[in-house]
Amino acid sequence: MNVKKIIWKTIVIVELLCIIGLVTELIFPTLAIKVDVLHRSSLLFGNYGPIKYFYELKPHTTTTIHLLWKNTHGPNNPVYTINSDGLNQTSNNAIEKKKGVYRIAAIGDSFTFGRNVNTSQNYPSQLSDILNKRYKCGNIAKFEVLNLGVSGYDLQYAEARYEKRGKKYDPDLILWFLIGDDFRRLDEYQIPIMRKYWNEIQKSNNYANYVAKGNYYPDFWKSETDMLRLFGAQNAIRFQESFLNQLRNTGKQPIVLFTFPDTEDIYKNLLTRFSRSTKSVYFYDRIPNIHAINNYILPDSHPSPKGYRAIAENLANYLVSRKIIDCTNSKFSKSH
């Protein structure tokens, strides 16, 4: 059966859930949609093309996150500093790229955004620091790494975010950090279901019980189970795969798709096939396996500051050694 037909049939079911969620929100207005630990006031919601539930970070905001658990190996109260264009980074970037600037756009979900670490500790921030301090390339005066990641994004939303927010910066390279959940998640249909579950959890005051059992995002896992039951895993994967092609068609710059070594083979095989069939697309799955190193991971399975540092160092070495970033004319390659 055609994937689009399955998706459109499912819309009817999802729309009914939207109505239920809307009624619940009218009755319980403080129970807002939970797409991140950020408060709703720190997010911007609205349509973007065919996407109905698109959301981004509100520009010019600094938000302190008060976690309900001890953030072992990370800051107890992480601070997100959102710049003038809604990016989780302390610096602003001119739209027009100056001569000698090598610009990298980092897209993805919470693993790119840097969930539950300070802005300076996420991987794009640390990659920028490493490239500028350690690598001296003759034709590159400065590296800029733009953090376009947003927590909760699937492939469709991440690609849309690049088109809306990142393409105008004319990046020389795109990095896309992908994990298995990105392929199983269908934001456009899952968000209203997630809203319903979060409202139920809030009303029952049961969130602490989930955390005690190591389930930090129960609304997400419940909604994912529902969506996979409705769509089927293979249909979800095929739907998300189309947005890899969509990103490729937005420009001619190289794209690096990367993931953890222990990501499921079904997703790694897909990314391998895509990279081999598409010019200037690379697939890399040799970043550090943070899940095997205790102080590289936070309690909720996101990378710790040290985990992000290890990922950034590994990526920098890969990009230069593979000549994706060309430092061959450098007098001081890999300067410390």
- Least confident residue range of 3-7, 146-150, 158-162: 3-7
pLDDT at site 12: 42
Q: Is 102 helix (H, G, I), strand (E, B) or coil?
A: strand
For the segment 30-47, the average pLDDT, to the nearest whole number, is: 62
Better-scored residue on pLDDT, 18 or 92: 92
Sorted by where each begins, the domain ranges of the chain are 3-321
Which is more confidently placed, 189 or 303? 303
Q: Model-level pTM greater than 0.75? A: yes
pLDDT tens-digit series, residues 264-296: 999 999 999 999 998 899 999 999 999 999 999
Rg (CA), the chain: 20
pLDDT band of residue 22 (cuts 50, 70, 90) is very low
| Res. 329 pLDDT band, cuts 50 70 90 | low
Percentage, residues of the chain above pLDDT 90: 79
CB 123 within 8 A of CB 308: yes
Q: How confident is the model at residue 18 (pLDDT cuts 50, 70, 90)?
A: very low
CATH of domain 3-321: 3.40.50.1110
Share of the chain above pLDDT 70, in %: 86
pLDDT (tens digit, 9 = 90+) per residue, 253-265?
999 999 999 999 9
pLDDT at position 40 is 72
How far is C-alpha 189 from the geometric centre of its chain's CA atoms?
A: 18
User: Phi-psi region for residue 25, left (φ > 0), alpha (ψ -120 to 50) or beta?
Assistant: alpha
